[in-house]
Amino acid sequence: MGSEKYSILLPTYNERENLPIIVWLIVKYLEESKINFEIIIIDDGSPDNTQEVAKELIKIYGEDKILLRPRAAKLGLGTAYIHGLSHATGDFIIIMDADLSHHPKFIPQFIELQKKHNYDIVSGTRYKGDGGVYGWDFKRKLISRGANFLSQFLLRPKASDLTGSFRLYKKEVLSQLIKACESKGYVFQMEMIVRARAMNFTIGEVPISFVDRLYGQSKMGATEIIQFAKNLLYFFATI
């Protein structure tokens, strides 16, 4: 591949079991494809000491490959991306979860598709082609499908997976989008893609399989769902 550099933002909160595995997989798949990259770990003072693990990983892979850019407290995902972006030196930014729900084997596919069409954004999708969700119970699947369907219906963003968070962005596009976005937490992903359409950015899609976390707790609860619904209606009214 060429000389482009890719910055991978990994937000973590209590991911000490998952972090070494996800980092190992990223390094394996990206080195195999000769991709130039850095991994930026944004840890929000995890009580399980995720940062100790991150420091060990820096010793193993080197401080040019793994960057730890922590924050003192749990300040939420939206601002974690902003923080990570401010430290990124890549031309492209890849955002993914650290809990092994997003498999790094898809990253070379994102990159290939971006290059082919010069897309501003490439989004992983669970709802097209070979994409899918594994390990969720019926309730969680229903919530996710429902949220996606409702958002599709109200906002018509021409993207099949609105609430997913496995995406590649041109760096400049991501910083413009982040500046335009108002929401935090779960709605953030949806707002990003809806605004991207409104701002006429081009979006490609790669089907991905999403696997529920084995270690640790998801942070999704009833409050998140209510928040999501509220914001959805707000975007419907304003974007």
Ligand X SMILES: *[C@@H]1O[C@H](CO)[C@@H](O)[C@H](O)[C@H]1NC(C)=O
Ligand Y SMILES: Nc1nc2c(ncn2[C@@H]2O[C@H](COP(=O)(O)OP(=O)(O)O)[C@@H](O)[C@H]2O)c(=O)[nH]1
Q: Is 7 left (phi over 0), alpha (psi -120 to 50) or beta?
A: beta
| Residue 37 CB partners (closer than 8 Å, separation 6+) | 5, 6, 7, 8, 26, 30, 65, 90
Nearer to ligand Y, 22 or 27 (CB): 22
Assess 239 for contact with ligand X (CB under 6 A). Answer: no
Taking 3-state DSSP, the helix, strand and coil percentages for the chain, each rounded to the nearest 5, stand at 45, 20, 35
Q: Which H helix or E strand runs over 113?
A: helix 107-117
Assess 95 for contact with ligand Y (CB under 6 A). Answer: no
Assess 200 for contact with ligand X (CB under 6 A). Answer: yes
Which listed residue (58, 66, 80, 122) binds ligand Y by CB under 6 A? 80
Question: Binding to ligand X (CB under 6 A): which residues in 11-50?
Answer: none
Nearer to ligand X, 118 or 200 (CB): 200
Question: 159, 27, 7, 177: which is closest to 94 by C-alpha?
Answer: 7
Assess 118 for contact with ligand X (CB under 6 A). Answer: no
Q: How many residues bind ligand X (CB under 6 A)?
A: 2
| Binder of residue 12, out of ligand Y, ligand X, Mg ion, none (CB less than 5 to 8 A by kind) | ligand Y
Assess 99 for contact with Mg ion (CB under 5 A). Answer: yes
Backbone φ, ψ for residue 210 (5° rounding): -105, 125
Please count the residues of the chain.
239
Assess 214 for contact with ligand X (CB under 6 A). Answer: no
**Residues in contact with ligand Y by the rule CB under 6 A:** 11-13, 15, 42-44, 74, 76-77, 80, 97-99, 101, 213, 218-220
